[in-house]
A and B are shown apart, each in its own frame.
Chain A
Amino acid sequence: MAAMRSVKLSGVCSQAVRQMTGMNACRLLQQRSFRVHGVRRQQTFDPTDKPQFPGASAEFIDRLEFIQPNVISGIPIYRVMDRQGQIINPSEDPQLSKETVRNFYQKMTLLNTMDRILYESQRQGRISFYMTNYGEEGTHIGSAAALEPSDLVFGQYREAGVLLYRGFPLDSFMAQCYANADDLGKGRQMPVHYGSKDLHFVTISSPLATQIPQAAGSAYALKRENLNRAVICYFGEGAASEGDAHAGFNFSATLECPLIFFCRNNGYAISTPTNEQYRGDGIAARGPGYGMMSIRVDGNDVFAVYNATKEARRRAVAENQPFLIEAMTYRIGHHSTSDDSSAYRSVDEVNYWDKQDHPISRLRHYMTERGWWGEDDERSWRKESRKMVMEAFEKAEKRHKPRPDLLFTDVYKEMTPNLTKQRDSMWKHVKQYKEHYPLEAYEK
């Protein structure tokens, strides 16, 4: 065994190998295997000996040492303003105008108002399902504001603020949740599965993380078009455990895609806390493992989110490489309307984030300090936003459902003979048994 271990390329040979750096790895290995004749014994560690393995660029080390993960003192959390809305380091202040900041605040609170009304409407059985965005409003607005409007967005399902920021009408949000005839998705998906071609927001689907490698493919295609567009892909820390996340990170790095991965780490995947989700330093720590520029930000600080996204977007497009942003936040609401989160976490814990460290209240502190927002503004905006949401809500509720024919279209681009037959057969049946079907709720 000792002899085997000391087997080494001769000096002449290793020099020759070094000169062949242009040669591909496979041929290099063959060359080596043919030249091992000049074997000699070597007893001591040679510090000038350079590793030649094609799989990594590293030095040899003569001590046994496992690399230890650093989870106690993890990647720091980038923050621009404190909990009272005070800018901590003036050089990091994005210096956004009063109008821009007021718009941030109004979009965050409008989203919050819409969430409250739609959540209640589900409790009353008026829509079948809903997912709120409580506590994560800052991640949506801050990142959306840092993008160009034509950048393509792939989301998970808790990013309605991105759409709202881009100008998706309240009517369209409601139409989707009510699955009425105005729904762009033709009433086929569950509530909160929004999508907008015009606003470059790819339609949401329920299977987690599937959008992650898709975002890489889109970014690759956009890179080839050379129109200075980027892709952003949102996902939760739970979804990051899926195999598709691994695929997407690795593909985007090796294929050099202008893409921003935006992870919302809100501490829970339904009932599963993060210590049952992973044992490393969160999601950000995985980025470097894929050769990806990574950062962790305070997700309740809209300016920190904005700054990080802005810079990642700039560099992703300029350098054709992916960036990973992990926004630390807290899921204040239940996972969905089908979940009661008090079954697995304390009310005190939730209250802390709702009352002490909320993205909306933090931005309000910042605005109040500058005299950009007062009690009167707050009162009138609350009233106005509530009125806008209620109007859209009532309108959506009155609207008919789409024509039942739409059950059969868009399966394929064209209607197949098989589907035409099945559609005709459905109508024949429904006409015969019409009293058993809710035809009056649907468009004719």
Chain B
Amino acid sequence: MAASARFLFRGANSKLYISSVKSGSYNQLRVTLLTSCNSHVKSQRRHAAHFTFQPDPVTTQYGPTQKMNLFQSVTSALDNTLAADPTAVIFGEDVAFGGVFRCTVGLRDKYGKDRVFNTPLCEQGIVGFGIGAAVAGATAIAEIQFADYIYPAFDQIVNEAAKYRYRSGDLFDCGRLTIRAPWGCVGHGSLYHSQSPEAFFAHCPGIKVVVPRSPVQAKGLLLSCIADENPCIFFEPKILYRAAVEQVPVEHYTVPLSQAEILQEGSDVTLVAWGTQIHVMREVAQMAQEKLGVSCELIDLQTILPWDTETICKSVVKTGRLLISHEAPITGGFAAEISSTVQEECFLNLEAPIARVCGYDTPFPHIFEPFYIPDKWKCFEAIKKMINF
């Protein structure tokens, strides 16, 4: 299933590799791509990046840091794990040579081919295999090549992984399983290289679902997922693999699961998002301040399931307004869950209807991506309406 599509994608990706680590800017990267293409320049011009990555302030509390982009911080987390845990194994499609997104580069050479290995091209097999390894006591880190291709493993995740401990009365569990998958839109990924399937999994008790926004968060949260005694799905925003660069601690450290992070304090509106959308929202908050004089509190949810109700509700009690934004389609999206919970918990504090700015209820389109995504202008407009309500 993934084979034909990923071939196409790998081609595009090798071009990205040349320019982006250095530049770290998506705009610049597009320019590089354009100049390398002589004919039909105008018709090939892609829409500029819909966000600007801003690194967090450098943290030194976990020891020495190194400049890493998101894929490198994932490798670093996997490296720390394999070094510390002799049972840990990494497997999936094409992970042996370093992965189609370079997340496992060098690990096979360093730790051996019995610990970092390719599987046959079969997602239900990968997750089933990972569950079995975890049941037998190994730390199993499975990779699904794109979140879009996780559905063949839906049965193994929902009926098996999530329910293993519960149905056996805690005799058996697969808590040592972590499933990593590239996630979210990428500018040109179309239907099957752009999806954000977290809401499908949010309806499934027994698993944890985590999405980081940056290299530092990615490493800390991934190490938490691997150490967590429950099966976890870790979605990596693939548009950030090369675009996001910051100082990341080299040694092992963790960022707690089920805890949202307040990135910016504010008093008028609460903005909630996760993954790449955090960077969109950061800009929205700035625009709201500059153009409307509105003070936004920006929260990165980080863990979709089980999510941090307390931090979100506390913030809404203070601000009285809530905007939730995600790339995934609006109907049945996770914003609906947050929205109804906040409405229930903060009814007396809400001064305007809760706004959801999300993807439309369509498949994720190719050439129409700039019109599909919940970009900063759509979010900005929602804040304007909310303030004037």
Contact = CB atoms under 8 A, between A and B. Distances in A.
A214 B133 CA distance: 7
Given A213-B132, A221-B138, A243 B124 contact: yes
A210 B159 CA distance: 9
Contact of B133 (A202, A218, A411): A218
Interface stretch (A65-73, A96-104, A192-200, A325-333): A192-200
A98 to B, nearest CB: 35
Given A188-B169, A197-B172, A412 B206 contact: yes
A213 B155 CA distance: 12
Interface stretch (A83-91, A161-169, A250-258, A263-271): A250-258
B165 A413 contact: yes
- Among A212, A215, A250, A411, the most chain B Cβ lie within 10 Å of the Cβ of A411
Nearest to B165: A410
Contacts of B164: 203
Contacts of B122: 246-247, 250-251
Given A220-B133, A417-B309, A184 B128 contact: no
B175 A413 contact: yes
A214 B167 contact: no
Given A185-B169, A207-B155, A412-B206, A248 B87 contact: no
Contact of A221 (B124, B136, B175, B208): B136
Interface residues of A, number: 48
A214 B163 CA distance: 14
B89 A216 contact: no
B132 A254 contact: no
A189 interface: yes
Contacts of A370: none
A183 B132 contact: no
Interface string B84-95: 000101000000
Contact of B132 (A184, A221, A250): A221
Contact of A247 (B87, B124, B134, B135): B124
B138 A224 contact: yes
A205 B155 contact: no
B141 to A, nearest CB: 12
A217 B208 CA distance: 21
Interface stretch (B112-120, B187-195, B282-290): B112-120
Contacts of A413: 165, 173, 175, 229-230
B342 to A, nearest CB: 14
B167 A203 contact: yes
B131 interface: yes
B166 interface: yes
A217 B160 contact: no
Contacts of A220: 89, 129, 132-133, 138
Contact of B160 (A188, A205, A254): A205
A286 to B, nearest CB: 15
Contacts of A248: 125, 128
B306 A193 contact: no
A15 interface: no
Q: Which of A203, A221, A250, A413 has the most CB of B within 10 A?
A: A221
A185 to B, nearest CB: 4
Given A185-B171, A213-B128, A411-B205, A255 B135 contact: no
A310 interface: no
Given A207-B159, A413-B165, A216 B172 contact: no
Contact of B89 (A188, A214, A224, A416): A224
A443 B125 CA distance: 41
B256 to A, nearest CB: 12
Q: Which of B125, B138, B175, B230 has the most chain A CB within a 10 Å cutoff?
A: B125
B270 interface: no
Contacts of A411: 165-166, 205-206
A383 B279 CA distance: 75
A418 interface: yes
- Most chain A Cβ neighbours within 10 Å, of B128, B170, B172: B128
A217 B166 contact: no
Interface in B172-201: 172-173, 175
Contacts of B230: 412-413
B302 to A, nearest CB: 15
B132 to A, nearest CB: 3
B215 interface: no
Given A222-B136, A224-B138, A213 B129 contact: yes
Nearest to A220: B133
B65 interface: no
A302 interface: no
Contacts of B137: 221, 225
A196 B155 CA distance: 24
Contact of B136 (A183, A186, A218, A418): A218
A262 to B, nearest CB: 16
Contacts of A225: 136-137
B156 interface: yes
A206 to B, nearest CB: 8
Nearest to B306: A416
Residue of A188, A216, A217, A218 ringed by the most chain B CB atoms within 10 A: A217
Nearest to A186: B169
Contacts of A410: 165-166, 169-170
Nearest to B129: A217
Interface string A312-343: 00000000000000000000000000000000
Interface in B270-327: 306, 309-310
Interface in B186-237: 205-206, 208, 229-230
Given A244-B125, A412-B230, A412-B306, A218 B135 contact: yes
Contact of B124 (A183, A195, A202, A213): A213
B132 A205 contact: no
A202 B135 contact: yes
B135 A214 contact: yes
B132 A218 contact: yes
Contact of A244 (B128, B135, B173, B175): B128
A216 B129 contact: yes
Contacts of A297: none
B130 interface: yes
Interface string A404-423: 00000111111011100000
Given A193-B167, A413-B229, A254 B133 contact: no
Interface in A107-129: none
A246 B170 CA distance: 29
B168 interface: yes
Given A221-B137, A224-B114, A250-B120, A210 B306 contact: no
Contacts of B119: 251, 254-255
B206 to A, nearest CB: 5
Contacts of A174: none
8 contacts: A188-B167, A202-B135, A213-B128, A218-B133, A221-B133, A246-B125, A250-B122, A254-B120
Given A217-B135, A218-B136, 15 more contacts: A185-B169, A195-B172, A202-B135, A213-B128, A214-B128, A217-B129, A217-B130, A220-B129, A220-B132, A222-B136, A247-B125, A409-B170, A410-B170, A411-B166, A418-B306
6 nearest A-B pairs in the assembled complex, by CB-CB distance: A217-B132, A213-B128, A247-B125, A214-B132, A203-B168, A221-B136
